[in-house]
Amino acid sequence: MKILKIIATIALVGFVGIQFIPTERNQSDTVPETDFMLVHNVPETIQKKLQVSCYDCHSNNTQYPWYNKIQPAAWFLEDHIKEGKAELNFNEWDSLSSRRKSSKLRSIIKQIESGEMPLDSYTLIHKDAKFSEAEAEELINFITQLKDSL
Amino acid sequence: MKNLKMSIAVMLLLAVSFTNAQEKEKMNHKHGEMEMDHSKMKMDKMNPAAETVLADYFMLKDALVGDDTKKAAQSGSKLVASLKKFDKSSYSKEQQKELADIIEDATEHAEHISESAIDHQREHFKTLSKDITDMVAITGTKSTLYEQFCPMYDKGSAWLSTSNEVKNPYYGSKMLKCGKVQKTIQ
């Protein structure tokens, strides 16, 4: 019984301790001119969908959930955001060459088609981030057109 | 007196033949230089870095033809490494910019190929093939390449091969012969 108590105390101290380790927050007040929505004429419904479903991890501005205040959840999020932005950052869209844009648009289409994005771990909590069949079709059509016009 | 005349004549003959020989040597030398120029031109056409990239690309292509995900992934990693080593310094500024763009794009696709399942590998192989084709347009290559085309995969997809016999990397054994040679690159 005593051992259990010790383990519980250590776990508690550890849990409290890691709360003091700072995390990098992905937040910005300005949207740069290179942003995808500023460069292209994106229909409003698609704009909203992209904002809700993609921009949290693929832009410089994340709408953080409440549990981001708690470790280790914050680390988990930080990791995903870093990886997401490295792969594609909608805010910096126009700094890409047309070859790179075409590649990225292709990947967007494939990821939405196969349902790989948005991640299951994300839609588990952000129910509204999920794509309905109609929404997926609308986005894919728009992105395909955009890709062909590059 | 007769002796002196003889020796002068011999001397003259020697001198003439000597200069003649020198001239010939010069000409040989010139000829040699010309040959060197020629081989330098050939060297330009076969940038060793580009050849390594191509070799890795063909290894990847063959792996996909053989439906071998693991080998394709390995070739993908190799390609990432050889793209990183690509030396662009011998090209014009404009070409360097274009090559940097191609390499950045190709590297991303190669990275994805190194860590994906075969369907995904084939998707990335399509864009990668375009990148490599554009690279060859700038660097040239020592061997003859065939651009082949399959009208069925993803609304039509091309790839490069060293043989004019069609072996489809997008379908592998499922539809090995689908496609045709659409261009010969020399």
- Please give chain B's pLDDT, 186 residues, in tens: 556 666 655 555 555 555 555 554 444 544 444 444 444 444 455 688 899 999 999 999 999 999 999 999 999 999 999 999 998 888 999 999 999 999 999 999 999 999 999 999 999 999 999 999 999 999 989 889 999 999 999 889 999 999 999 999 999 999 999 999 999 998
Supply the pLDDT for residue B17. Answer: 56
- Could you list the residue range(s) of the whole structural domain that residue B140 is in? 46-185
In a domain, B24, yes or no: no
Question: How many independent structural domains does chain A possess?
Answer: 1
Average pLDDT, chain A: 89
Which residues, including other chains, have CB under 8 Å from residue A130's CB and lie 6 or more apart? A53, A118, A123
CB A140 within 8 A of CB A109: yes
8-state DSSP, A55: T
- Note whether B105 contacts A110, CB cutoff 8 Å: no
Show the tokens assigned to A46.
């698609």
Show the tokens assigned to B103.
């390499």
| Residue B157: its H or E element | strand B157-161
Count CB atoms within 10 A of the CB of residue B67. Answer: 15
Is the dihedral angle over the CA atoms A85, A86, A88, A90 positive or is it negative? positive
pLDDT tier for residue A18 given thresholds of 50, 70 and 90: confident
Supply the pLDDT for residue B41. Answer: 46
Supply the pLDDT for residue B32. Answer: 46
Show the tokens assigned to B28.
């040989």
- Note whether A99 contacts B123, CB cutoff 8 Å: no
Cα dihedral value B106, B107, B108, B109, nearest 10: 50
In a domain, B133, yes or no: yes
Q: Which residues of B touch A99 (CB under 8 A)?
A: 101-102, 105, 131
CB B145 within 8 A of CB B161: yes
The CA distance from B17 to B20, in Å, is 5
- Note whether A103 contacts B105, CB cutoff 8 Å: yes
B160 φ, ψ (degrees, to nearest 5): -110, 150
Searching chain A, which residue's CA lies closest to the CA of residue B123?
A110
Searching chain B, which residue's CA lies closest to the CA of residue A103?
B127
Strands B180-185 and B157-161 come out as: unpaired
Closest CA to A80 of A141, A45, A126, A132: A126
Higher pLDDT, A117 or B6: A117
**ipTM over cut 0.95:** no
Among A87, A96, A97, A144, which would you mutate to test the B interface (most chain B Cβ atoms within 10 Å of its Cβ)? Answer: A97
Q: Which of A100, A106, A110 sits opposite B104 (nearest CB)?
A: A100
In a domain, B64, yes or no: yes
Show the tokens assigned to A100.
């790179």
Q: Which residues of A touch B108 (CB under 8 A)?
A: 103
The CA distance from B75 to B106, in Å, is 13
Supply the pLDDT for residue A103. Answer: 93
Lowest mean pLDDT among A25-29, A33-37, A39-43, B88-92: A25-29
- Could you list the residue range(s) of the whole structural domain that residue A99 is in? 2-149
Question: How many independent structural domains does chain B possess?
Answer: 1
Half-sphere exposure of B170 (CA within 13 A, CB side): 24
The CA distance from B50 to B55, in Å, is 9
